Amino acid sequence: MQTTLPVIRRLLRTVLSFHAFSKQNSSISKQFAVRFLTSEPVLPKSTIDSDEAVKFRQFASVWWDQYGSLKPLHAMNRLRVPLIRDSLCPPHETSAPRDSKLTGDFAPLTGFSILDVGCGGGILAEPLAYLGAQVLGIDQVSESINVATAHVQLTADRWKRTGRDPPRYETIGLDAVAVRYPSHFDAVIMSELLEHVTDWESMLCLANVCLKPGGMLFITTLNQTRTSFLLGVVAAEYVLGIVPRGTHDWYKFIEPSRLQGALIRNGFRPHQLLGLTYNILTNQWSWTSNLCVNYAVTAVKTDDEKLKPSPPEKSGPNEQ
């Protein structure tokens, strides 16, 4: 009984949050921008919610179990990897054969530098590196980075055979990467991340700083709808057990219109908006026009002055 009480309390809090949200104007969101004091930008901090960090520490032993509680995340690679590959290197720009394989002799991402933010155990970073990309995976949960690093070491022979460079991993925040690598990456990935961070719009600002002009941002996240509450939280966590209980906080889910507006404010041009649906029986994801639960967004760092981050008003002494 004692072990079930925290679960019940969390579910009740989620229900109450859902009820409160339905009475609010959900279109209001804070605006973040690259700030300038003299000639140096003052970047927002990329902070991880302490409760979220606790959740992901519990995944340390299961990151690479393709049949465990993170099975849907592994399965999502069948959509995520081709989306990233074909967006960065469109099929018409190469004469190499294109098939459903995510690895092999074909290395279309050779020469591309990719930043995987919130990389976890590296289950997305590795397939991208096998396609030839130079991948830096970052996460503020050290246990996740330890798992990712250990998996690269366990598969060292495979990396040697392919001649590819494995991903590099660091326990570091996106704000530190933005200072170290401004305008460096061809692509930044935030997959299943924004719904777990405290200030997701500041992450978009930092991603803009890290990207080269014309670089691409890839996001997958969850919509904030009644359907996503019922399917993404109640059914997925408490009824079907697709993902561990407490993985998601519905109140942190993001409507596509809010996300696209924030992208524009932070110097991006939204490109693609795609829905994703998961079949629990076949463990397969597929693209859909329905955005009610899971969705993906791609965006391009723009050179359009109207869409670039604008300098803010003068900050007070306690403002960042």
CATH of the domain at 77: 3.40.50.150
| pTM assigned to the model | 0.78
pLDDT in tens, 273-283: 999 999 989 99
Let me know if residue 38 belongs to a domain: no
Q: What is the mean pLDDT of the chain?
A: 81
Q: What is the CA radius of gyration of the chain?
A: 20
On the CB side of 61, CA atoms within 13 Å amount to 1
Angle 142-154/50-57 helices, nearest 10 degrees?
A: 30
The answer to the question of whether 85 is labelled as a binding residue is: no
The region that residue 129 occupies, defined by phi over 0 for left and psi between -120 and 50 for alpha, beta otherwise, is alpha
Let me know if residue 20 belongs to a domain: no
Let me know if residue 125 belongs to a domain: yes
pLDDT higher for 194 or 92?
A: 194
Q: Taking 80 as the threshold, does the pLDDT of residue 130 lie above it?
A: yes
pLDDT in tens, 42-64: 556 655 666 666 666 667 778 99
The answer to the question of whether 139 is labelled as a binding residue is: yes
Nearest to 281 by CA among 225, 239, 242: 242
Separation CA 142–CA 172 (nearest Å): 9
Instruction: Give the number of domains in the chain.
Output: 1
pLDDT higher for 320 or 81?
A: 81
Which two structure tokens, joined as six digits, stand for 262? 């924030």
Let me know if residue 245 belongs to a domain: yes
The region that residue 104 occupies, defined by phi over 0 for left and psi between -120 and 50 for alpha, beta otherwise, is left
Mean pLDDT over 126-133 rounds to 97
The answer to the question of whether 40 is labelled as a binding residue is: no
pLDDT band of residue 93 (cuts 50, 70, 90) is low
Let me know if residue 116 belongs to a domain: yes
**Residues in Cβ contact with 178 at an 8 Å cutoff, skipping those fewer than 6 apart:** 43, 206, 209, 210
The answer to the question of whether 289 is labelled as a binding residue is: no
In the chain, % of residues over pLDDT 90: 58
What is the residue range of 215's domain? 49-94+101-307
Separation CA 25–CA 59 (nearest Å): 35
pLDDT at 247: 77
The answer to the question of whether 98 is labelled as a binding residue is: no
pLDDT in tens, 132-175: 999 999 999 999 999 999 999 999 999 999 999 999 999 999 99
Let me know if residue 65 belongs to a domain: yes
